[in-house]
A and B are shown apart, each in its own frame.
Chain A
Amino acid sequence: MKPAPFRYADPGTLDEALAVLSGEGEGAKVLAGGQSLLPLLSMRLAAPTTLVDINRLPGLDTVEATGDGVRVGALVRHAFLLHDDAAARVQPLLARATANVAHAAIRNRGTTVGSIAHADPSGEMTAVLAVTDGSVSVATPSGTSDVSWRDLFVGPLETSLHGPAVVTSAFFPAPPSRSGTAFAEVARRKGDYAVCGAAVVVTVDENRRVTAVRAAYLSVGLVPEVHDLTDAVVGKPVDSADWAAAGALARTLVDPDGDLHASADYRRLLVGALTERTLIAAAAEAAGRSL
C-alpha cells in the first residue's frame, strides 16, 4: 500500500498551478486535502504522473457569506465550514451536512470543494450543492467560469472538467424565503459513507401552504440526485401535510443499486424514511420562518 512513483509540484500562484497542469496533461491531479485521493494512490487504484498541491495558493481559504449565499474557497476544510456561524445562518444545510462528513480527523484536513470535485455520489457536500442549485467556480488557462452542479457531475468520481482546471470555490445559494431545510443520513457506523442520505428544502407561501419540496439524495445514484416532491404535498398546510406521501413518492423516483452494506430495496426504504424524517424537520423550520 505505497503509491507508485509520481511527480509533485506545489505552485505558489493559480497561474503557476494551471501552467503545471497544462504541461502535465491528463496524468496530473490536483491535491487539496488528500482524504480521498491519497488512499486511492496508496492502494494503487490511481497512479497520476503528477500531484499539483494547491495548498500554497493564496486566497482560497475563505468562506464568504452574503445574502445571496455562501461561497466556500477551495482550501476551506470541512471543520472550518462546520463551525462558520455566518455560513450556517445563510445556508443552514452547510453545517447540517458537514457534521456528517466522516470523522473529525478527516474533516480537519479534507476540503469541502475537494469532496465536490471528487464527485463521489456518496458525498454529503455534492448533495448539498445539488439541492441548493449551487455551482462551482473553475479556473482554466483561458479564464474563470461558473459551472452549475447540473453540468458538473457526470458519473461516479467523474466530472465534466477536462484539461487543466482548478475548482477554486463552490457557491451554495441561500434557501428561498419562507423555507426550511434538513439533512439526515443513515450510515453503518457513525462517520461512514452514508448508505443513504437526504438533503431537503421545503418552501411555503404566506399562508403557510407548501409551494415547493426539493430533495437531494446521496448514495442512491451515480451522481447526486435531486427530485421534486412538490406534487405530493403542494398546497397543503405545512403543519399537516402528508410527509409520508412525499416519502412514498420519493421511493418511486429513485433507482438505487445494492452493494455490500445495503440492498437496492433497503436503500429505497431509506429514501422513503429519510425523506419523511427530513421533510418533517424542514417543514417545522419553514413554518417557524413564515410566522
Chain B
Amino acid sequence: MTTKLFGEPVRRREDARLIVGQGRYLDDIGSAALAAAFVRSPHAHARIVGIDADAALDVEGLVAIYAYEDLTGPMAEPLPVLIPHPQLTSPRTGYPLANGEVNHVGEAVVMVVATDRYIAEDACDRIVVTYEELPVVVGVDAAREAEAAVHEEIPDNVAAVHHQETGDVEAALAAAPRTLSFTQYIERSGSIPMEGRGVHARWDADDASLRVYSSTQASTSVRAAIAAKLELSVDRVEVIAPDVGGGFGMKIVHPWPEELLVPMAAIALGQEVKWSEDRREHFISSAHERQQRQEITVGYDDDGRITALDVHVWHDNGAYTPYGIIVPIVTATQLIGPYVIPAYRVKVESVYTNTVIVTPYRGAGRPQGCYAMERTLDRIADALGMDRALVRERNLIQPDQFPYDQHLTFQDGRPVIYDSGDYPGLMAKLKALVGWDDAASLRSAAEARGKLLGIGMAMYVEGTGPGPYEGGHVQVLGSGKVLVSTGLTSQGQGHETVFAQIVASELGVPIEDVEVHTGDTRRFGYAVGTFASRAAVMSGNAVALAARGVREKALRIAADVLEADPGDLEIDDGLVQVKGTPGASIPLRTIAVLSNPLRYAFDEAAKQATQFAIPGSDDKPPVAVGDAPGLEHRDYYSPIRSTFASGAHAAVVEIDPATWEIDVVTYAVVHDCGNVVNPMIVEGQVHGGVAQGVGGALYERMAYDADGQLQNASFMDFLMPFASEVPDVVIDHQQTPSPLNPLGIKGAGEAGVIPGTAAIASAIEDATGRRIASMPIAPSQLYDLMRDENAERTMASAARTTGARA
C-alpha cells in the first residue's frame, strides 16, 4: 500500500533541492536586472528639509533617482492600513518614500536605480538629505508618558485601545480572597529570516503585463496591492513567491514600499529592476515584535484558583500601524491559555514609537500573553507556597468542557471557542517527560557541581488556521502526473511534502506522481496567505477537498468504462479498480485522458479520447451538461472559526554563580496539534520554534538607544542563538483532533516559540530565588539582579536552606 501517507514521517521532498543550492530565491532571479538601493533616514524622527541629488548624477551607471515628489496617483498616498479595526482609532502608515517627515531610522527616503547594486550604493552615498530633527520617542514607557509625540496630531501616542472583558472584574477582584498586582516587561526581537525581503519586477510593454517576484508570505494580496497602487488591471499583474528563505511573519506585511517602487521603476524604465534587502536594511526597515509593558492584577483563592484577572498592556507598535492591531488582539485573547478565568478584563494600549514597525513575528503576541499568564500562575504558587504545576492543574479547563467558550473575539473577528483539547493530559505528560517531581534531586546534584539549577514550565493555547479561506486545485494529467496548487506561499515549512501527502492519500496515488505549487498567482489567484499557523489547516483541507472532487469524478468516469457502480470502485496506487475483482481496473491517467473528449490526437494516449474512439451516445453531448473537460477540481476551505492547538513546555536551566551564564540543559515539549499530517515536519517546526523561544528569552533584543538608533543592527551584535545555544528538545505528542475541519488538524507552525520566555523566566527564578520581571535576560543583567539588595526574592527561595549568593 503506497497511498496511505497521511500521518507518516515522509521525508521532506524539498530538502534535497534546498540543501544543495538548487533553490531559486529572489536574488537568483534576474541576474541582468537593474539594481535598486535606498537612501534611508539616519534619524528616528525628523522633518525632511531638502534632498540634493546633484552629486550623484555624475556616478557612471546611474539610471534613475526617485523621491516622494516623483510619486503620482495612488503611489503618492499613504500605504494601506491592511486590517482596519473599530478600536484602531488613530491608524498611521508611511508613504512608499518619505513625504516630508521620517518616523524611524531606516525609513526609505530616496530610491536609486543603477546598473548594479554597488553603483546604486555609490550614488546613495552622494545624495544629501537635510533634516530638521524632532523629539524622539523610544520604548513603551516613553510613549505612554507622551512628552513627545511620534505623530504630531496624536499627542498621546495611542494608536488604539483594544479592550475586552468577560465578566465583572472589579466585583470579582473585590470579592477575591487574595490578590496580587505586578508589572513586567518583555522586549523586542524580530523574525530575522535567513533571506531578507526582495522584489524583482519585469514589465512586458508589448503584452502590457507585469511580472513580479517577491519574497513574500502573501503573493495574491501583493498582486492586488500592486495593481491598485500602480493603477493596473489585476489581470495584467502576476506575483510569484519563489523559494523564500524564511518569513516568520514579517513577510506577511505588504505591500512593502519596495514591493511597489521596484515595479513602478521597472515600468517607467522599461527594464527589469531588482532590490534585494541587505541585513542592515532588514534590521532597520522591516518589522520587529514583542515589546510590551504588562500590569497585571489577579484575584485567587487559598487553593490557587483564579477568580479574576485584570491585565493592562502597553504595546509598542513602532512608527506605523499597517497591520492594524492584530498583535494586541492576539495577546489579549490568547493570554488566558488553557485556564478557566471566571472574570477577565484586558486592555491593550497600542502606542507609537519612533522605531521600526511592529507586526506579527512567529507567535504574534502569544509569547507575550503566555508570559503574562504563566508568570501570574508562578506568582500565585509562590505566594501560596504551592507547587507551580498544581496551581496550573487547579485552573485548567477539563476535557469534558469542550467546546469551551472564552467569550472573547479573536483576530479573525470570530469567537474564541476552544474546539477540543486535553490540557490535564498535556500537564501529566509534561511532568513525566521533564521529571518535574525530581527537581529537588536535580537541584542537589547541580549544587554539588557548583551550579544553580532551576525548572520552569508554561502552557499555552494557540488559535490556528483563521479564515477567511484558502483554495486548492488538483488536476490529473494524461501522463498520470497530479498537479496540486494552492495560493498561499511557502517559506520552507515543508508544504510541498505535506500537501502531496494529503493529496496522495485522498486520491490514492503514489506521492512521487504529485507535484505541488504554491504562492503563484498564475496558478491560483485566490488566497489569503501564510501566517497564523494556517497553511496545513487551510490549504491542507482545501487540497483535500479538491482531491476528493477529483476522486469523485474519476470514479464516475471509471464506473462508465468498467460498467460498475462508482460505490464499488476504489483507487489505489494510481489504479481505479472494482473492489474484490482483480483485473477489472483502469489507470487513473487513462481516466484523465478520457475526461477530455478530443478531436485531435496529439500523442498516443490522446487517441483514446478522440471522437471516433469513444463509443458515446448520439443523443448526449460529449461533455455532459454541468460537467467540464479534464480531470480536475477546485475547492475552497472556509472555517467557521479558528481551531485551537495547545501545548506545555518545561525548561531546566543551570546557572554558573561565578559568571552568571545561563545554560538551558533540558527543554521538554508536549504538543497537541490535532491529527498530524507528518510528525517529522511537526517536530521540525517545534524545534525551530523552541530555538526562537530560547533566543527571545536569553539572547535577542533590539537595542535602541534614546535617540532611536538601533545599536545592534547586525549579526555581530544581534544575538540569535546558534546550534550551540539551542538545547536538545525532547517531545511528546498528544492528538485531540479538531472537529472543525475535514482532516481534524490544527496548526503547528508557531507553537514552539510561544512558551519559551515564560518557561525560561520561571526556571531562572527558580534557580536564583530572584523575581524575574523583565525578559529577555542576559548574564550581565542577571548579575545586576543578584547583587541588588532591593531585588525581590521569591518566597520559595526563602524557604530553601541553600541558595544563590551573589
B783 touches A44 (CB 8 A): no
A260 touches B711 (CB 8 A): yes
Chain A, residue nearest B779 (CB): A266
Q: Quick one: which of A246-291 are within 8 Å of B by CB?
A: 260-263, 265-266, 269-270, 273-274, 276-277
The 6 A-B pairs with the shortest beta carbon distances in the complex, nearest first, are A190-B724, A266-B780, A1-B278, A273-B658, A2-B118, A262-B780
B719 touches A188 (CB 8 A): yes
Q: Point out the residue from A3, A190, A269, A274 that lies within 8 Å of B118, measured CB to CB.
A: A3
Apart from A2-B118, A189-B719, A266-B783, list 6 A-B contacts with CB within 8 A: A1-B280, A5-B118, A195-B779, A260-B712, A261-B780, A269-B659
A260 touches B703 (CB 8 A): yes
Known: A2-B121, A186-B659. A263 touches B722 (CB 8 A): no
Give the chain A neighbours of B443 by CB distance below 8 A. none
Give the chain B neighbours of A261 by CB distance below 8 A. 717, 719, 778, 780
Q: Kindly state the separation between the CA atoms of A188 and B725 in the bound complex, as whole angstroms.
A: 9
A186 touches B661 (CB 8 A): yes
Q: Confirm or deny: A191 has a beta carbon within 8 angstroms of a beta carbon on chain B.
A: yes
Chain A, residue nearest B718 (CB): A260
Q: Confirm or deny: B699 has a beta carbon within 8 angstroms of a beta carbon on chain A.
A: yes
Q: Point out the residue from B661, B712, B716, B783 that lies within 8 Å of A265, measured CB to CB.
A: B783
Q: Confirm or deny: B279 has a beta carbon within 8 angstroms of a beta carbon on chain A.
A: yes
Q: Quick one: which of B719-737 are within 8 Å of A by CB?
A: 719, 721-722, 724-725
Chain B, residue nearest A264 (CB): B780
Give the chain B neighbours of A85 by CB distance below 8 A. none
Q: Kindly state the separation between the CA atoms of A278 and B203 in the bound complex, as whole angstroms.
A: 64
**Do most interface residues of chain A lie in helix, strand or loop, or is the interface mixed?**
loop
Q: Kindly state the separation between the CA atoms of A261 and B122 in the bound complex, as whole angstroms.
A: 33
Q: Confirm or deny: A86 has a beta carbon within 8 angstroms of a beta carbon on chain B.
A: no
Chain B interface residue count, CB cutoff 8 Å, equals: 29
A44 touches B719 (CB 8 A): no
A123 to chain B, nearest CB (A): 14
Q: Confirm or deny: A192 has a beta carbon within 8 angstroms of a beta carbon on chain B.
A: yes
Give the chain A neighbours of B661 by CB distance below 8 A. 186
Q: Kindly state the separation between the CA atoms of A16 and B142 in the bound complex, as whole angstroms.
A: 59
Q: Confirm or deny: B8 has a beta carbon within 8 angstroms of a beta carbon on chain A.
A: no
Q: Kindly state the separation between the CA atoms of A48 and B333 in the bound complex, as whole angstroms.
A: 55
Q: Kindly state the separation between the CA atoms of A39 and B715 in the bound complex, as whole angstroms.
A: 11
Q: Confirm or deny: B784 has a beta carbon within 8 angstroms of a beta carbon on chain A.
A: yes
Q: Kindly state the separation between the CA atoms of A44 and B125 in the bound complex, as whole angstroms.
A: 10
A80 to chain B, nearest CB (A): 23
Give the chain A neighbours of B719 by CB distance below 8 A. 188-189, 192, 261
Q: Kindly state the separation between the CA atoms of A270 and B722 in the bound complex, as whole angstroms.
A: 22
A191 touches B724 (CB 8 A): yes
Q: Kindly state the separation between the CA atoms of A41 and B414 in the bound complex, as whole angstroms.
A: 52
A151 to chain B, nearest CB (A): 29
B599 to chain A, nearest CB (A): 58
Give the chain A neighbours of B280 by CB distance below 8 A. 1, 43
Of B699, B779, B784, chain A has the most CB atoms within 10 Å of the CB of: B779
Query: What per-residue 1/0 map shows which CB atoms of B502-516 lie under 8 Å from chain A?
Result: 000000000000000
Chain A, residue nearest B658 (CB): A273
Q: Kindly state the separation between the CA atoms of A1 and B660 in the bound complex, as whole angstroms.
A: 36
Query: What per-residue 1/0 map shows which CB atoms of B625-660 lie under 8 Å from chain A?
Result: 000000000000000000000000000000000111
B446 to chain A, nearest CB (A): 18
B279 to chain A, nearest CB (A): 7
Q: Point out the residue from A5, A189, A270, A274 that lies within 8 Å of B699, measured CB to CB.
A: A189
Give the chain A neighbours of B278 by CB distance below 8 A. 1
Q: Confirm or deny: B556 has a beta carbon within 8 angstroms of a beta carbon on chain A.
A: no
Of B121, B280, B714, B780, chain A has the most CB atoms within 10 Å of the CB of: B780
Give the chain A neighbours of B660 by CB distance below 8 A. 266, 269
Known: A44-B125, A188-B699, A188-B778. A277 touches B722 (CB 8 A): no
Give the chain B neighbours of A1 by CB distance below 8 A. 121, 278-280
Give the chain A neighbours of B431 by CB distance below 8 A. none
B108 to chain A, nearest CB (A): 16
Q: Confirm or deny: B117 has a beta carbon within 8 angstroms of a beta carbon on chain A.
A: yes
A191 touches B279 (CB 8 A): no
